[in-house]
Structures are given as C-alpha cells and as structure tokens.
C-alpha cells in the first residue's frame, strides 16, 4: 500500500531541514572539507528524490511548477552514478534550490489540506 501524498511531502521538508541544520554557518570551502557533512547532505538529497519518485503522476502534474523530474534525476545520479556529482553542484542545490523547494512543498501541503477539509 502506498503512503499518503502528504507524508512524502513531509519527508521532503524534513530532509531539507536536516540539510539546513548540517550546513548552517558553512561556506563551500568548509562544506568541501567535511566528508561527514557531504555524506549526510547527499543522503538527504537522495531521500528528497526518492520521495518525489513515489508521488503519483497526477499530483506531480497538478503541481507542475516543482521540478519533480530534475529532483528524481538527481537522486538517480546520486545513487547510481555518484562519481558524477561534484561539491559545487551539491552546494548550488543547498544555496539556491532547497529554500524554493521548501516553500513550494509547504504551499502544496496547505492547498491539499484545504481541499481535504472541504471533502
């Protein structure tokens, strides 16, 4: 049985929060030197990608401003082609993409909650 849509979205938000906690106060140079932090961040980016993969297509189409395919593709690269990922790419995701994704996911959860309350 598939988990509820909102639970996968919560997984994404929790993974983003962890990445933010792990990298708080760091810059790219510090991040690059911390193998433990890089491993922890990469694991949570994989969780984000896997959660996105588990979402039903109709929901992803409904909320198509979220770059679902890019998120899923990153997870595939991280899990299966890990040697292709560089620190700058990961840092770019942390610095320039996770905050937007977090906002998008929160908005989706709010919209879905309102829809469910009306039902």
Q: Structural domain boundaries of the chain?
A: 13-118
Confidence band for 117, pLDDT divided at 50, 70 and 90: confident
- CB within 8 A of 37, min separation 6: which ones? 22, 23, 26, 31
| Residue in this structure with the two tokens 């983003």, named with its chain if needed | 16
Confidence band for 1, pLDDT divided at 50, 70 and 90: low
Q: Is 75 a catalytic residue?
A: yes
Q: Which of 14, 95, 86, 100 is nearest to 50 (CA)?
A: 14
* pLDDT at 77 (0 to 100): 92
3-state helix, strand, coil in the chain (%, to 5): 80, 0, 20
Distance from C-alpha of 99 to C-alpha of 116, rounded to nearest angstrom: 26
Q: Of these residues, 3, 18, 43, 75, which one is catalytic?
A: 75
């Amino acid at each position: 049985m598939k988990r509820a849509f909102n639970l996968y979205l919560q997984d994404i938000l929790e993974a983003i929060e962890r990445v933010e906690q792990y990298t708080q106060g760091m810059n790219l140079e510090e991040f690059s030197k911390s193998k433990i932090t890089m491993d922890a961040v990469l694991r949570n980016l994989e969780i984000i990608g896997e959660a996105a993969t588990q979402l039903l297509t109709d929901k992803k189409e409904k909320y198509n401003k979220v770059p679902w395919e890019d998120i899923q593709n990153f997870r595939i690269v991280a899990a299966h082609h890990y040697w292709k990922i560089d620190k700058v790419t990961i840092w770019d995701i942390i610095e320039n993409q996770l905050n937007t994704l977090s906002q998008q996911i929160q908005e989706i959860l709010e919209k879905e909650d309102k829809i469910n309350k009306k039902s």
